[in-house]
C-alpha cells in the first residue's frame, strides 16, 4: 500500500499558487526528502497531507484514507515547522496530556527514552533551549506510533551532536518499517538519509530521484587542478571553466575524456575530480 498519494493537488493563496497540480506517490517504507527554496510549497504540501489545510483542487490519500481519518486512526505523526508547545507547563505534564490523545501510542517511557527527554522532564516548556524544544516536538511526532512520519525541517536549531543523535533515533524508527517524509534545508542530510529526493519549486516537482540521480540531472563532474592559465574549453567534454584562486575548475560532461587530454600537459598538477554537491544540483535545478 502507498503511504501517500497526491493527485492534482492544488492550493492557492490569492494570486499565489503555492502548490500547482502536484502528483506524487510515496510507497510505504520509503524515506523521502522534500527539497526546495522558501515558498516552493513544501510546508503547504505537508499541511495538506496532515489535513491541516484543505486543498483547492485535487486529492490527498494517506494509507488509502483521507488525511483527517488517517490522523484520527493514529497512522500519522508530524513535526511542524516552528511548531509550538503548550506554554508554561512541565515537559512531563505536556507529555502526559498528549499521550492520552492517540489511538495506539507508544509507551510514555519508550518515547521519553527515544527522544532523550529524561533530563528535562521537570523543565518548563518556556525554559527549553531550541534543541530541547525540538526534541519534545520529535517526541510528540513519534508518540502516536505512526506508520507515516512527516517532519518539516526537523533539525533546525540543533547543534551537530544533537543532529547526529536525531538521525540515529530516526534510523531505529525507520528500521521498524515506517515511512518518513522530511523537508530540510540541510541538503547533505537529504542526500545521506533519504532513499528519494523530490525537489519542489513554485509548487511543482522539478526533480525526483535518488541523491545520485539528482546530481546526474545536473550532469558532469568537476575537475580542479593547478596549471597554466589558458583556455581549456577546447578539450573534449569541457562545458565550463572557472578560476578559483590559484586553481582552475572545469565542468565536464565526460570527465574521462577531459582527463586524458588534460594530463597530457605536464604542467597540470594536483588534479581533483568531484561530483557536484547536492547544493550545486539544487541551485541549478531551481534557477
Binding residues vs other proteins (CB under 8 A): 1, 3, 13, 27-29, 47, 50-54, 63, 71-78, 80, 82-89, 93, 96-98, 100-104, 140-141, 144-147, 176-179
Cβ(74)–Cβ(113) under 8 Å? no
**Smallest distance, Å, CB 267 to other proteins?**
51
Least distance from other proteins to the Cβ atom of residue 270, Å = 43
Residue 18, CA atoms < 13 Å, CB-side half-sphere: 19
Q: Minimum distance from CB of 48 to other proteins (Å)? A: 10
Q: Rank residues 49 and 218 by Cβ distance to other proteins and give the closer one.
A: 49
- SS3 (DSSP) at 256: helix
When the beta carbons of 145 and 191 are compared against other proteins, the nearer one is 145
Beta strands across the sheet bearing 179-183: 76-79, 148-152, 179-183, 31-35, 196-201, 204-209
99-105: long-range contacts, CB 8 A cutoff, minimum separation 24: 99/143, 102/74, 102/143, 102/144, 102/145, 103/72, 103/73, 103/74, 103/144, 104/74, 104/144, 104/145, 105/74, 105/143, 105/144, 105/145
The values of phi and psi at residue 267, to 5°, are -75, -15
Give the separation between CA 125 and CA 121, rounded to whole angstroms.
Answer: 10
Smallest distance, Å, CB 126 to other proteins? 11
Minimum CB distance to other proteins, residue 146 (Å): 7
User: How close are the terminal C-alpha atoms of the chain, in Å?
Assistant: 35
Q: How far is the CB of 266 from other proteins (least distance, A)?
A: 51
Between residues 58 and 224, which has the closer beta carbon with respect to other proteins? 58
DSSP letter for 57, please.
Answer: E
CB of 248: closest distance to other proteins in angstroms? 45
Which three cell numbers mark 211?
541523491
Cβ-based nearer residue to other proteins, 72 or 185: 72
The residues facing 79 across adjacent strands are: 151
**Residue 75 · residue 137 · CB < 8 Å:** no
Quick one: 98 or 238, whose CB is closer to other proteins?
A: 98
Q: Which is nearer to other proteins, 40 or 173 (CB)?
A: 173
Of 166, 150, 169, 181, whose CA–CA distance to 32 is shortest? 181
138 vs 186 by CB, closer to other proteins: 138
Amino acid at each position: 500500500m502507498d503511504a501517500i498519494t497526491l493527485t492534482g493537488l492544488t492550493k492557492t493563496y490569492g494570486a499565489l499558487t503555492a502548490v500547482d497540480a502536484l502528483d506524487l506517490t510515496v510507497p510505504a517504507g520509503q524515506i523521502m526528502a522534500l527539497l526546495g527554496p522558501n515558498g516552493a510549497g513544501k510546508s503547504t504540501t505537508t499541511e495538506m497531507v496532515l489535513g491541516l489545510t484543505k486543498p483547492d483542487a485535487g486529492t490527498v490519500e494517506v494509507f488509502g484514507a483521507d488525511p483527517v481519518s488517517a490522523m484520527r486512526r493514529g497512522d500519522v505523526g508530524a513535526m511542524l515547522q516552528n511548531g509550538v508547545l503548550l506554554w508554561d507547563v512541565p515537559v512531563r505534564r505536556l507529555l502526559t496530556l498528549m499521550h492520552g490523545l492517540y489511538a495506539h501510542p507508544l509507551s510514555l517511557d519508550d518515547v521519553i527514552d527515544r527522544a532523550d527527554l529524561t533530563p528535562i522532564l521537570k523543565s518548563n516548556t518556556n525554559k527549553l533551549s531550541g534543541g530541547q524544544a525540538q526534541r519534545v516536538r520529535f517526541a510528540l511526532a513519534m508518540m502516536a506510533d505512526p506508520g507515516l512520519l512527516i517532519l518539516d525541517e526537523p533539525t533546525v536549531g540543533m547543534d551537530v551532536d544533537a543532529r547526529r543523535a536525531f538521525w540515529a533515533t530516526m534510523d531505529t524508527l525507520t528500521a521498524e518499517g515506517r515511512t518518513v517524509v522530511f523537508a530540510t534545508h540541510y541538503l547533505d542530510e537529504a542526500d545521506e538519509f533519504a532513499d528519494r529526493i523530490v525537489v519542489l519549486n513554485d509548487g511543482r516537482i522539478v526533480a525526483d530521484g535518488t541523491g545520485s540521480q539528482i546530481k546526474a540531472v545536473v550532469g558532469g563532474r568537476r575537475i580542479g587542478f593547478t596549471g597554466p592559465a589558458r583556455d581549456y574549453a577546447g578539450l573534449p567534454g569541457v562545458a565550463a571553466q572557472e578560476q578559483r584562486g590559484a586553481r582552475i575548475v572545469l565542468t565536464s560532461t565526460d570527465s574521462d575524456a577531459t582527463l586524458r587530454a588534460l594530463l597530457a600537459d605536464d604542467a597540470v598538477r594536483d588534479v581533483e575530480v568531484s561530483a557536484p554537491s547536492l547544493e550545486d544540483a539544487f541551485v541549478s535545478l531551481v534557477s
